[in-house]
Amino acid sequence: MLLLWLVVLFLSPVYAVTVNGDPAQREAPICGAIKEPFVFWLWSRMAPRAKPTRATRHAHVEAVSFETGDGKKLSGYRVGAHDGSGELVEPKGYVLMALGNAMIADQMIGELSAYARAGYDAYIYDYRGYGLSEGKRRINAILEDYREIVTDLNGKYQRKMLYGVSLGGMVMMNTIGAGVDFDAAVIDSAPSRLSNYGCPDRIDPVNHLSEASATKLLIITGKRDQVLGPKDTRELREQAGAMGAKTYDGENFAHPYMDRMYDVHLQRVRLVQEHLLPPASSR
């Protein structure tokens, strides 16, 4: 869990380095030469093993891949846009989900079926080093990967929707901060900052807010979140709200996909869908 990483970062000495988008340096650690690889190793042990049949049992799901700028193959899945009778249709746009740290793509792709039924292609990729994806598990590399993925998808679709949970929220905020075009984004339970724990402040989600992008955002947090509490998430939610973003601090919300009651989970799902999908009359 992200909380485990924050604890390790806090207790460990800091040896952060600055890395740009140079493919040769993409996998260099930026939150400590020892800490970052070690914590990602812990995270990866919490994630389930890849099991493609978990994904392909869902209708209209197919395996996809993406080659990064440094030549690594990222594996993922797409749910194809379809109509009410289940026939594939020309997609109106896409939604891309960036996962939490202990999730893998085949586990979560079914969660995006509603977007495919509404006429949008939905994508999930395993982070590098997770599931079936190649490469080393490094923050800088993941951020560069998602900037490239979004740029590639933007060249193929009209409507562009982004959805990040937990670590994925940090990833999506950095992607947005890199200047990619998007129509709507949901950031669910992302930390406001990682610089307090030894990472460079250039990756702090709160530093990637802008007046132009905030009005397209929904920031969700939960009062019962035991992974990232109010002190971790409040600043991002409040600053985004002050810039015009929609915000929701759920009274009964825990960390994403960890809500104890199914009706609470469904409430969260509806919030996300209502923000990302245009009104039914305009779909």
Please give the helix or strand (H or E) that residue 260 lies within, else none: none
Tell me which residue of 115, 142, 196, 136 sits closest to 21, measured CA to CA.
142
Of the pLDDT bands very low, low, confident and very high (cuts 50, 70, 90), residue 102 is confident
Higher-confidence position of 43 and 160: 160
pLDDT of residue 21: 52
Q: CA-to-CA distance for 66 and 216, rounded, in angstroms?
A: 26
Which residues lie below 8 Å from residue 3, measured CB to CB, with a gap of 6+? 226, 227, 228
Quick one: how many helices (H) and strands (E) in the chain?
10, 8
Average pLDDT on 52-71 reads: 94
Kindly report the number of other CB atoms within 10 A of residue 279's CB atom: 7
| C-alpha 78: how far from chain center | 15
| Structure confidence at residue 5 as a pLDDT band (50, 70, 90) | very low
Q: What angle do CA 150, 218, 233 make, to 5 degrees?
A: 100
pLDDT band at 14 (very low <50, low <70, confident <90, very high): very low
Burial state string for 202-227 with b = 16 or more CB within 10 A and e = fewer than 16: ebbbbbbbeeebbebbbbbbbeebeb
Quick check: 231 pLDDT over 80? yes
Q: Which of the four pLDDT bands, split at 50, 70 and 90, describes residue 198? A: confident
What are the pLDDT digits (tens) for 79-93? Answer: 999 998 889 999 999
Which domains can be identified in the chain, with CATH numbers?
2-282 (3.40.50.1820)
Is the CB of residue 89 less than 8 Å from the CB of residue 119?
Answer: yes
* Residue-wise pLDDT tens digits, 120-148: 999 999 999 999 999 998 999 999 999 99
pLDDT (average), residues 7-14: 38
Q: How much of the chain, in percent, has pLDDT values that exceed 90? A: 73
pLDDT of residue 15: 35
- d(CA 197, CA 191) in angstroms, rounded, equals 11
Alpha-carbon span 57 to 50, nearest angstrom: 14
